[in-house]
Structure 1
């Protein structure tokens, strides 16, 4: 396998984290961006990807950038997480076509919890029924169905994980609610006593890199694994870790205004989008990582205290 990857979404959290890990491991990393100059400037002084001009909505752009790649990371979402019904599926179709034109590059997809109904199950493994209760979840199920249909000609790897957080992750519940800067309070979307799964992106990216570097034949044509991440068993540990990291035991905590989101949801926009994920804060949903451990051994795991401190330091 050639160690060349095309990353769609390298300016985002998971795409950027995977790019950094693979660059350190000697991979050739390409990244598609509508404005490569701006993307390269935002990357900083460290060695970065080979930025290619293009748009994930244009099939020819993706196919041209994917030539010679063995992996395509599909980490791109519609801007502002809007227009899911119009943009998500055409983008994955473009990625599948590009992977096929590259001779069967494996598509790496960061998976989500949206495919599931958290009121109906509490543990996700690769056999868990995908019966989403939301519009966004139904689209994610169809996205994965298309990946399954493309195998084995186009192999895929879906790595499911909880809510992302970590250095440079700006669009997340951690960065935009619990630890929003300037940090004057903790706005907690969870409920006391309800567990929640978190994925520290440097750990998730390391796990993805190890999976991609497995010898040929270890991964199934359509592999599905779960990344357990950091489990906040009672919904209080993340807030407590934030207080300890900033040495402010009296940092006030407020409940996220779900009542306001519910009132505004009929008008669309952010309130409607956020109400679709509310069930994942009302019910505990954990990830069974046995298949991941079977493939790579122990899951990468940064202690919660260290992960939170590093995320806050980079804010």
Structure 2
């Protein structure tokens, strides 16, 4: 009998961390999680071994990583606050723990690393020349991971577009910008320009892809990066149209995101400043080339869009009192 493996998940209460933990658990992994609120975590992932601690404290991470085969570094600073002061030290703690235990690090990546010179189709080896502050921090994080790989730490990075899903968090464009959680969908706010493509990653599919890649650990090199394509639309507005259809309100208005207001207030509101910095990702098409991932796995996990949107909106309590069949489709037809 093959002994079970242990994965330490940092950020297990977040969208990506939660779904990666779920996918690994389905494959027999023992899940260990570090949290400042372990009691809250136990309500989300009751099968996990929840340890009290802080990813900012090197000793807490080191202790939690003992005998772990994998460290999933899916923790992010809350509310876009103090990225340099928090994100980099947390990553350094993970790297130190991986060096001590021999664990592979799995790091959820973003498209922030890239600048316009790499658009519109992003490949893993494209140069990373960001023109935003957060993009520069992301590049520095990946550089530290690559340096660690040269020192014996195995690293797996899986980059994706904007996340959505039943366990997406407050940092999600879907739950914070497009629709209002806890309310019926009476309108959809769309941040993008007309005719501009956009990539969305359904979190359960992303978690499944990560778990499958982790399962091929023996075939992977010390430093591996993959791109997850997810749901891509040549005209991103089609995504808003599908939200309306699944919500049963196909005639609901699609409203423009108030970029002018956000930019005007950005000097005074931290969240608006962070959003304004990333506006360029809504002004130009940014697609992820997943050919390397498909070559490795044979396919990319892909839930049909309407099924994915239904599960997301249902979890957000945006579909009150209306059955799926009343919307003119069912999950088997999606």
- Does TM-score exceed 0.5, indicating one fold? yes
Q: CA deviation at 1:268?
A: 4.2
SS of residue paired to 1:266: coil
1:167-213 Cα deviation digits (max 9, x unpaired): 12132111112122313311111111000000000000000000000
Q: Determine the structure 2 residue equivalent to 1:293.
A: 294
Gaps (5+ residues) in structure 2?
317-334
Q: Is residue 2:130 matched to residue 1:132?
A: yes
Distance 1:120 1:282 in 2: 15
> 1:261/1:198 Cα in 2 relative to 1: closer, same or farther (>3 Å)?
same
Distance 2:50 2:116 in 1: 39
Q: Is residue 2:147 matched to residue 1:149?
A: yes
TM-score by length of 2: 0.90
1:64-122 Cα deviation digits (max 9, x unpaired): 000111110000011212101211111110000011111x2111000001101146521
Q: CA deviation at 1:130?
A: 0.3
Q: Determine the structure 1 residue equivalent to 2:5.
A: 3
Cα contact 2:103–2:153 (8 A) shared by 1: yes
Q: CA deviation at 1:47?
A: 4.1
Q: CA RMSD for the aligned pairs?
A: 1.4
Distance 2:4 2:277 in 1: 40
SS of residue paired to 2:31: strand
Cα contact 1:118–1:279 (8 A) shared by 2: no
Q: Is residue 2:187 matched to residue 1:178?
A: no
Q: Determine the structure 2 residue equivalent to 1:76.
A: 75
User: Which aligned runs of 4 or more in structure 1 are off by greater than 3 angstroms?
Assistant: none
Matches within 5 A, 1:116-265: 116-118=114-116, 121-152=119-150, 153-171=152-170, 172-181=172-181, 182=183, 183-214=185-216, 216=218, 218-265=219-266
Distance 1:119 1:158 in 2: 21
Between stretches 4-13 and 289-298, larger displacement belongs to: 289-298
Cα contact 2:199–2:287 (8 A) shared by 1: yes
Between Structure 1 and Structure 2, how many residues are aligned? 310
Cα contact 1:118–1:285 (8 A) shared by 2: no
Distance 1:174 1:119 in 2: 27
Q: Determine the structure 1 residue equivalent to 2:19.
A: 17
SS of residue paired to 2:119: coil
1:206-257 Cα deviation digits (max 9, x unpaired): 00000000151x1111101100110021112211111111111111111001
TM-score by length of 1: 0.95
